DNA sequence: TATTCGTGGCC
DNA sequence: TGGCCAAGAAT
């Protein structure tokens, strides 16, 4: 029909069609899911796989079905209910967001990106995602999946650059359909394609609806040739100790003494105290005096 | 712009 | 086996 093979517009029909057939049935995508449910899901999904988020999200929605419900609970309850999703400051920020939504937004999750961006823990991606998926706004949603799909299909690179570039955002913007309702499906469809088919390590190109026009494939699927990607250090980091300390506090019924927290880092008192200080500064741990600590009240 | 911040599963 | 990676945000 068109002779300009590879034009960005050619991606729409195949990807939207693929999504219609292969989308996962996730509760936060249901029409009856509240904007609050969408916001909670988006924050939980930051750097955390769907499989791990699902049971915790269901628990949260049952326990705190509205922002007001969470705002009325102690912050520590949110941190404990966060379980082992990782990056527990997200739980704290979600609680702070709930309070802000109640106090400053009439208990309704804001609909515009600008307002959403004022909420703690809500950045560029999450604001665009919530405005779009919860409120139907036509936004440009750019997450790691979108970046990878577009890097391959359009740019021809094996992987996107380490940091989001203006060019990527501009490209993504040109690809978002003009109609808000279609844009909404497009945004989630590209993410889904990246999550299920156009994966980082071993992409399932035979299952890809745009393999025939993928610039990366047409170039012979060249290996990544950019600057070396530095991994996420873990062994011997403060994160490891902070995580262990928080695990102790989550498991405990009441306050925990320094001796109990020492198990998280038995061989290095300097690091141990630095991490504890950091947790207190972050608001994830509350000092009670006399060397006793608890999750925030 | 580069770091820091959890956790666990997978190839 | 272990490095890599997962719907990022804040500083």
Q: Is the CB of A52 under 7 A from strand B?
A: yes
Nucleotide in closest CA–C1' contact with A117 = C9
Residue A29 structure tokens: 């995508």
Q: How far is the CA of A163 from the C1' of B1 (A)?
A: 9
Q: At what angle do helices A12-22 and A180-196 cross, to 10 degrees?
A: 70
Output Rg (C-alpha) for chain A, integer angstroms.
22
Q: Select from A72, A42, A46, A40 the least CA-distant residue to A58.
A: A40
Q: Is the CB of A230 under 7 A from strand B?
A: yes
Q: Which residues contact A233 (CB under 8 A, 6 or more apart)?
A: none
Q: Which residues contact A37 (CB under 8 A, 6 or more apart)?
A: A27, A28, A57, A61
| Cα A98 off chain centre by | 17
Domains annotated for chain A, with CATH where assigned, are: 35-133 (1.10.340.30), 238-294 (1.10.10)
- Longest Cα–Cα distance of chain A, Å, equals 76
How far is the C-alpha of A128 from the C-alpha of A132, rounded, in Å?
Answer: 6
Q: Which residue has the tokens 């203006």?
A: A166
Read off the DSSP letter of residue A229: P
Nucleotide in closest CA–C1' contact with A42 = C7
Q: Is A9 left (phi over 0), alpha (psi -120 to 50) or beta?
A: alpha
Count CA within 13 A, CB hemisphere, residue A21.
8
Q: Which residues contact A239 (CB under 8 A, 6 or more apart)?
A: none
Helices and strands in chain A: count of H runs, count of E runs: 15, 3
Element housing A131 (H / E): helix A124-133
Q: What is the strand order of the sheet A256-257 is part of?
A: A256-257, A292-294, A286-289
Q: Is A235 a catalytic site residue?
A: no
pLDDT tens for chain A, 297 residues: list them. Answer: 443 444 667 999 999 999 999 999 999 999 999 999 999 999 999 999 999 999 999 999 999 999 999 999 999 999 999 999 999 999 999 999 999 999 999 999 999 999 999 999 999 999 999 999 999 999 999 999 999 999 999 999 999 999 999 999 999 999 999 999 999 999 999 999 999 999 999 999 999 999 999 999 999 999 998 888 888 888 889 999 999 999 999 999 999 999 999 999 999 999 999 999 999 999 999 999 999 999 999
- pLDDT at site A1: 41
Report which residue is nearest nucleotide B10 when distances run from CA to C1'. A201
- Judge contact between A284 and A246, C-beta under 8 A: yes
Q: Which of A13, A42, A269, A286 is catalytic?
A: A42
Q: Is the CB of A283 under 7 A from strand C?
A: no
């Amino acid at each position: 029909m068109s002779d300009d093979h590879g034009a960005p517009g050619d991606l729409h029909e195949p990807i939207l069609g693929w999504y219609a057939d292969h989308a996962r049935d996730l509760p936060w995508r249901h029409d009856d899911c509240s904007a609050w449910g969408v916001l909670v899901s988006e924050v939980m999904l930051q750097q955390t796989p769907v499989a791990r988020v699902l049971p915790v999200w269901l628990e949260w929605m049952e326990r705190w079905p509205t922002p007001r419900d969470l705002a009325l609970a102690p912050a520590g309850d949110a941190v404990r209910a966060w379980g082992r999703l990782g990056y527990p400051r997200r739980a704290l920020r979600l609680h702070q967001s709930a309070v802000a939504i109640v106090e400053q937004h009439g208990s309704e999750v804001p609909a515009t990106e600008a307002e959403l961006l004022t909420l703690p823990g809500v950045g560029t991606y999450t604001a665009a995602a919530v405005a779009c998926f919860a409120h139907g706004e036509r936004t440009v949603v750019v997450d790691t999946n979108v970046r990878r799909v577009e890097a391959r299909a359009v740019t021809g690179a094996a992987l996107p650059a380490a940091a989001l570039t203006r060019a990527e955002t501009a490209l993504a913007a040109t690809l978002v359909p003009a109609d808000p309702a279609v844009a909404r499906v497009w945004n989630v469809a590209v993410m889904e394609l990246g999550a299920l088919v156009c994966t980082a390590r071993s992409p399932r190109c035979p299952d890809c609806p745009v393999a025939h026009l993928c610039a990366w494939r047409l170039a012979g699927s060249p290996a990544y040739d950019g600057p070396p990607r530095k991994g996420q250090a873990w062994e011997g980091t403060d994160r490891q100790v902070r995580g262990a300390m928080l695990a102790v506090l989550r498991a405990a019924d009441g306050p925990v003494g320094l001796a109990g927290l020492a198990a998280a880092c038995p061989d290095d008192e300097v690091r141990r105290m630095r991490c504890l200080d950091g947790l207190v500064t972050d608001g994830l741990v509350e000092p009670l005096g006399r060397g006793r600590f608890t999750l925030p009240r």
